[in-house]
Chains A and B, each alone.
Chain A
Amino acid sequence: MNLPFLKNRSQRDLWLGLLFVSPWLIGFLLWTVYPLISSFYYSFTRYDLLRPAVWIGPGNYVELFTEDATFPKVIGNTLYYVLLSAPLGVISAFLMAALLNTKIMARPFFRAIFFFPAIVPTIVVAMVWQFLLNTQFGLINSLLQGVGLPVIPFLSSPALAKPSLIMIYMWAQGNAMVIFLATLQDVPRSLYEAAELDGANALHKFWHITIPMCTPVILFNLIMGFIEGFQSFTLPWLVTGGGPSNSTELYGLYLYRNAFEFLRMGKASALAWMLFIVIVVFTFILFRTSARWVYYSSEK
């Protein structure tokens, strides 16, 4: 698009640039900024969608921290889930990528198989795992019984439901794995060759070259894992629905329930805002600590 009335090239480019990014910019204002501001407002109201919102000050926040018996449990569940699922997801994705990066036959074949669960609809993942982990006729328990082990109530015991969800989550970490694999293949061969000349064994090379060279991507995947974990909804909702006895009632589930089952839009907004702040703080802390463990090679 030529804008002849703008003589100055840099001014012309500014308007052109803004023109091209305007879809995002308008969307940002409509679907991000406005909802952020309005949910902040609604978090101080009582609102059920039917009657007009009523200003109640910090009432929703006070209720959550002093009266709501479920909320402390929800926080505990969420921290348990996030603090385990994000690092474990990163570790398993990294190890699988490292395994695929060694000299193996049929790498593309294994890579495709390891990746595939990541793009399967969550509803299908949920149906299949519920079926597999069933205590009466699930395949996994039949196999365990076949070798003389007791039945494990993976999804029906409050103690095991969260670990089982984390296991299913780890099973579908193909995205992170593929990103790691690309990073591993970019590590310069010369580094390994130099280390070999100095007599390093495979473990040394892994620990002192492979891992440091991957730390920027480890940080990236870890942050993505934490953000995803704090918001997770679909998998726990479909696999356990929050049960048994609220043991998998994660933050995202509780928020959804307040909004669309109890029609407590104000309380749900308060929950959403606290989630937002927690995610921002968490990401910030991770970035701050990253100076100590993330290695950026000098050529960047």
Chain B
Amino acid sequence: MSVQSSTFHASKQPAQRKPLALAERIAGIVKYTVLILLAVSFVMPFYWMFSSALKNDAQVYVAPPIWFPSPAFWNNFADAWTSQPFTQYMLNTLFLYAIPYTLATTLSSAIVAYGFSRIQWKWRDTLFYVCLATMMVPFQVQMVPLFMIFKKLHWINSFLPLVVPALFGSPYYIFMLRQFFRTIPSELSDAARIDGASEFDILWRIMLPLSRPALTVVSLLAFIGAWNDYLGPLIYVHDQSKFVLALGVESLRRTFTFNSTIANAYPHLMAVSTLVVLPIIIIFFFGQRVFIEGISMTGLKE
């Protein structure tokens, strides 16, 4: 969708350009000034986080602010990371939450999306609208009763309350995958049906391989969603040995608020924050295009 129009822009206009009018030139200057100011406002906080991670207290509490700390205290990263079991937190985040959650929600959402797009049945669209409408139900309404259910099941202090519901699909991802499945020509599945393929075969052997871009987007979003999640683990995970990174960062901050004599509190906090955001930066760097185009899909009309 975005590709055609940008290539369209790229085609050069005939070379009979008049010299730019003054007004147009001013408009151009204003435009780039605004663009650059905005870009700075988005990048500067992250640069400040990173550069502050390299400082010591003296360099933090000084005016005017230091942009390029010298000497740079690279050991802040190791010191901050080991001041709490952050490696454990990272393993928890990855293997107990983000990875199982991503696999569960992507696969189940794809199965449901198939039923909502590739099979014709009575009430299909009505139920689909119900599915979309559930996005309106505030998390808080479910929060209290679900906590009670999971408490009865003795699932508190584990990741089951966060991962098991993901086996039932998530409306947002169902919606995205359904939009994508609808763009695949129905002749493909019809031909397979004539050859005697079951619907599950069609999903597994035809739809999923053809939907790699959409599946990538959904799993990236799901992974980042779990990696970033704070409220879910806050409610269900109480033992420090099971903390995820988000809870770990907060717990580090809390030790600093309660004991203001600890040295290098802010540099350490910024160092850990940098390390927590680093995987997101890497994922975004490589998957930027897939990502942004996937989110654009959400806005597509019927």
Contact = CB atoms under 8 A, between A and B. Distances in A.
Task: Among B130, B141, B253, B273, find the residue whose CB has the most chain A CB atoms closer than 10 A.
Answer: B141
Interface in B230-250: 230-231, 235, 245-246, 249-250
A13 B121 contact: yes
Size category of the binding interface on chain B = 35 or more
A300 B270 contact: no
A25 B165 contact: no
A21 B116 contact: yes
Contacts of B127: 21, 25
Nearest to B146: A35
Contacts, number: 270
A99 B276 CA distance: 31
B63 A231 contact: no
Given A24-B112, A104-B35, A178-B295, A128 B45 contact: yes
Interface stretch (A58-66, A83-91, A119-127, A153-161): A119-127
Contacts of B171: 24
B210 interface: no
Given A21-B127, A23-B108, A34-B145, A99 B121 contact: no
Interface in B30-62: 31-32, 34-35, 38-39, 41-43, 45-46, 48-49, 52, 60-62
Interface in A113-151: 113-117, 119-124, 127-129, 131-132, 136-137, 139, 142-143, 145-146
Task: Among A18, A35, A129, find the residue whose CB has the most chain B CB atoms closer than 10 A.
Answer: A35
A260 B228 CA distance: 21
A116 to B, nearest CB: 6
Contacts of B270: 127-128, 131
Contact of A276 (B2, B64, B141, B299): B141
B266 interface: yes
Contact of B115 (A20, A28, A132): A20
30 contacts: A1-B198, A1-B200, A16-B121, A17-B120, A20-B111, A27-B168, A99-B38, A104-B32, A110-B38, A114-B38, A117-B42, A121-B276, A123-B245, A124-B249, A124-B277, A127-B269, A127-B273, A131-B52, A131-B269, A131-B270, A137-B63, A142-B63, A142-B64, A181-B296, A271-B140, A275-B141, A276-B141, A279-B136, A279-B138, A283-B136
Given A16-B115, A227-B136, 4 more contacts: A30-B165, A123-B273, A128-B270, A181-B296
Interface of A: 1-2, 10, 13-14, 16-28, 30-32, 34-36, 38-39, 42, 49, 96, 99, 102-104, 107-108, 110-117, 119-124, 127-129, 131-132, 136-137, 139, 142-143, 145-146, 171, 175, 178-183, 185-186, 189, 216-217, 220, 227, 230-231, 233-234, 238, 252, 255-256, 259-260, 265, 268-269, 271-273, 275-276, 279-280, 283, 300
